[in-house]
């Protein structure tokens, strides 16, 4: 399979990633949608699934959005055409959709957000807009006409009267019609508008990157929860000043040194970031096993060659520190030392953990304990 249209992942990252759009004809040749429109509508009726319906002209108002869950009757009241159903996090609910992510592992796990599905009858779209994220738009069923191009930003003019960020006065630069198996990559900020030509399902493989605000608030919150955060600033070398109202330069020097010491702690930064970047999207994502397993049962299953698989929606990452490896799963951190260190890269390499190598690690009591813990909290399961 030639998912990137004849270029290697390294060439894609060098020339297109975060730089410019790429149309890939037959990225997934003969692709058959892993979900039907009816299944998407069914999911949109579930309490735990995030879904929206976007209607282009709704009682005279442009681009109105309705949030799920929906009742079955809601679907029978929709117009013939010009609307879209969006189902977020489809990979969390449908293992065949999660499997698609294995083709995108040339981008690190922590950058991945989720796969969103859209269903639209003829004319349906979510309007011309831009996103903050990188996205691969895989045509799963029917045909969609995409117009895209031009860098947009907060200064781009927006349509009034809709809660959605719809671009007005935007033309786009290129138009293509995608059929099943075709894919369009778009970097952040590129304007785009995809209109269904017929009954159409599109899967959006979306990536995310934290904002500076996320990083600063997240890391400083973490530092504030460290035991030494309750210590007070001190000044045993306080000197008499001319005016008691002055904040002396030496005070700012001390503050600067203190803040830099805390913020500049690279070990803390990596431990926080791993937890932050693997935190589950919602409480519904990681559900504890129905019956907690004993470590002996887990070991027997692993030795018998049963396939261990990540829970769809669980997040796995690791970071090599000087004398240990930090493993991060669903917002928790585990420090591995010595012979246990290579267990982290093995577990994080892809959704199906290599069976033979895992069997060897499962002979170690501490690793078996960790696997049992991950199984019982719902981060891994036997396929
Ligand atoms: C869609 O699939 O209809 C919209 C996806 C997007 O434009 O980001
Ligand atoms: Co978009």
131 lines ligand 1 (CB under 6 A): yes
For ligand 1, say whether the CB of 194 is within 6 Å of any of its atoms. Answer: yes
Q: H helices of 44-144, where?
A: 72-76, 90-93, 95-100
Measured from the CA of 193, which atom of ligand 1 is nearest? 7
In short, whether 319's Cβ falls inside 6 Å of ligand 1 is no
- Angle, in degrees to the nearest 10, between helices 266-278 and 212-224: 110
Beta carbon of 123 within 6 Å of any ligand 1 atom = no
pLDDT value at 310 more than 90: yes
The whole-chain average pLDDT of the chain stands at 96
Mean pLDDT confidence for 156-169: 95
For CA atoms 59, 120, 68, 163, the dihedral sign is negative
The predicted structure's pLDDT at residue 345: 98
- pLDDT band at residue 283, thresholds of 50, 70 and 90? confident
140 lines ligand 1 (CB under 6 A): no
Q: Give me the mean pLDDT over the 149-169 stretch.
A: 95
Q: Is the CB of 121 under 6 A from ligand 1?
A: no
d(CA 113, CA 243): 55
156 lines ligand 1 (CB under 6 A): no
pLDDT at 289 over 90: no
Q: Is the pLDDT of residue 207 over 70?
A: yes
Mean per-residue pLDDT, 95-122: 96
Question: What share of the chain in percent tops pLDDT 70?
Answer: 100
The 10s digit of each residue's pLDDT in 7-23 is 999 999 999 999 999 99
Q: Whose CA is nearest to atom 4 of ligand 1?
A: 126
Which among 53, 86, 117, 137 is the best mutation to test ligand 1's pocket, defined by most ligand atoms within 8 Å of the CB?
137
What pLDDT is recorded for position 359? Answer: 97
The DSSP 8-state label assigned to residue 233 in this structure reads P
Cα–Cα distance for residue pair 199/144, rounded to 1 Å = 9
Q: Read off the pLDDT band of 281 (50, 70, 90).
A: confident
Cβ(88) – ligand 1 distance below 6 Å = no
Measured in angstroms, how far is the CA atom of residue 253 from the centroid of ligand 2? Answer: 47
From the CA of 117, how far away is ligand 1's center (Å)? 8
- 22 within ligand 1 shell (Cβ under 6 A): no
pLDDT score of 91: 95
Res. 115: pLDDT tops 70: yes
Pocket test for ligand 1, best of 65, 165, 202, 208 (most atoms within 8 A of CB): 202
The number of beta carbons lying within 10 Å of the beta carbon of residue 173 is 11
Neighbours of 324 (CB within 10 A): 17
Residue 236 DSSP symbol:
T
pTM of the model: 0.94
Torsion of the alpha carbons at 107, 113, 114 and 115, rounded to the nearest 10:
-60
Whole-number pLDDT of residue 347: 98
Cβ of 139 closer than 6 Å to ligand 1, yes or no, is no
| Predicted pLDDT of residue 153 | 95
For residue 1, pLDDT over 80 is answered with: no
Ligand 2 centre to CA of 210 (Å) is 18
Residues 6+ apart with CB under 8 A from 251: 235
Residue 262 tokens read as 């805390």
Q: How many whole angstroms from 98 Cα to the centroid of ligand 2? A: 20
Distances (CA, A) of 55 to 73, 77, 92: 16, 12, 26
* Centroid of ligand 2 to alpha carbon of 214 (angstroms): 22
Predicted pLDDT of residue 290: 83
- The mean per-residue pLDDT over the stretch 91-120 comes to 96
The residue-averaged pLDDT of 185-193 equals: 98
Atom of ligand 1 nearest to the CA of 135: 8
- Asked whether 309 lines ligand 1 (CB < 6 A), one says no
CA of 243 to the centre of ligand 2 (A): 59
Structure tokens at 158: 């927006």
Q: Are 173 and 150 in contact (CB under 8 A)?
A: yes
Q: What is the mean pLDDT of residues 289-309?
A: 94
Condensed to tens digits (0 to 9), the pLDDT of residues 336-377 reads 999 999 999 999 999 999 999 999 999 999 999 999 999 999
Q: Give the integer Cα–Cα distance in Å for 376 and 369.
A: 10
Distance 159 CA to ligand 1 centre (A): 18
Mutation pick for ligand 1 pocket among 53, 126, 141, 142 (CB with most ligand atoms within 8 Å): 126
């Amino acid at each position: 399979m030639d998912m990137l249209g004849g270029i290697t992942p390294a060439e894609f990252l060098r020339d297109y990633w975060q730089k410019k759009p790429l149309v890939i004809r037959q990225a997934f040749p003969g692709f058959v949608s892993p979900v039907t429109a009816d299944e998407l509508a069914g999911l949109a009726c579930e309490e735990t699934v995030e879904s929206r319906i976007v209607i282009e002209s709704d009682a005279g108002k442009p681009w109105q959005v309705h949030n799920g869950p929906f009742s079955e009757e809601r679907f029978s009241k929709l117009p013939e055409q010009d609307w879209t159903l969006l189902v977020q996090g489809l990979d969390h609910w449908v293992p065949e959709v999660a499997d698609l992510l294995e083709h995108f592992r040339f981008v690190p796990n922590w950058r991945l957000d989720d796969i969103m599905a859209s269903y639209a009858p003829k004319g349906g779209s979510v309007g011309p807009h831009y996103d903050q994220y990188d996205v691969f738009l895989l045509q799963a069923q029917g045909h969609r006409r995409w117009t895209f191009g031009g860098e947009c930003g907060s200064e781009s003019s927006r349509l009034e009267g809709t809660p959605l960020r719809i671009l007005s006065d935007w033309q786009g630069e290129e138009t293509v019609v995608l059929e099943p198996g075709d894919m369009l990559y778009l970097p952040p900020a590129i304007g785009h508008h995809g209109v269904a030509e017929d009954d159409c399902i599109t899967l959006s493989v979306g990536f995310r990157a934290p904002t500076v605000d996320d990083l600063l608030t997240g890391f400083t919150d973490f530092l504030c929860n460290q035991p030494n955060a309750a210590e007070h600033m001190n000044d045993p070398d306080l000197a008499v000043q001319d005016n008691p109202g002055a904040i002396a330069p030496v005070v700012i020097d001390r503050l600067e040194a203190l803040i830099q010491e805390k913020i500049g702690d690279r070990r803390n930064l990596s431990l926080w970031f791993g937890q932050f970047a693997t935190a589950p999207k919602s409480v519904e994502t990681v559900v504890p096993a129905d019956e907690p397993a004993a470590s002996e049962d887990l070991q027997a299953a692993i030795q018998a060659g049963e396939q261990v698989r990540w829970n769809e929606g669980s997040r796995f990452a690791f970071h090599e520190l000087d004398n240990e490896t930090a493993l991060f799963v669903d917002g928790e951190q585990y420090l591995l030392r010595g012979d246990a260190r290579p267990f982290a890269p093995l577990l994080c390499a892809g959704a199906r953990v290599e069976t033979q190598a895992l069997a060897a690690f499962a002979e170690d009591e501490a690793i078996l304990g960790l696997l049992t813990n991950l199984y019982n909290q719902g981060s891994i399961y036997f396929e």
